[in-house]
């Protein structure tokens, strides 16, 4: 009976359907964005995602983290070119 993985955070996600919950393990917040899992893993390899979906849903906070990280990496890339 362990085949079904859920990502219900404590007391938060009870009323939110699984596909509208942030795909980060232990987060359980409402998802705001759906992104390519590959891109998220490249930007935030330290994040543990629930399962291996093609697209991962991120909550506002994790999406902010993702945006911040991708921005930093773009700036780093630019710096190495100079």
Residue ranges that bind Zn ion, judged by CB under 5 A? 22, 24, 27, 29, 59, 62
Strands (E), 1-82: 31-36, 55-59
Between vectors from CA 64 to CA 58 and to CA 67, what angle results, nearest 5°?
A: 100
Q: How many residues are listed for the chain in this entry?
A: 82
> For residues 24 and 44, which CB has a smaller minimum distance to Zn ion in the complex?
24
> For residues 22 and 40, which CB has a smaller minimum distance to Zn ion in the complex?
22
Please, what is the minimum distance in Å from the beta carbon of residue 59 to Zn ion? 3
> For residues 1 and 32, which CB has a smaller minimum distance to Zn ion in the complex?
32
As given in the structure block, the two tokens for residue 42 are 């490249």
């Amino acid at each position: 009976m362990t085949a079904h993985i859920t990502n219900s955070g404590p007391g938060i996600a009870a009323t939110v359907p699984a596909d509208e919950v942030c795909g980060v393990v232990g987060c359980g917040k409402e998802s705001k964005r759906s992104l390519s899992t590959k891109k998220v893993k490249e930007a935030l390899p330290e994040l543990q995602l629930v399962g291996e979906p093609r697209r991962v849903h991120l909550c506002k906070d994790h999406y902010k983290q993702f945006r911040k990280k991708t921005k930093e990496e773009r700036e780093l890339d630019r710096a190495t070119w100079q």
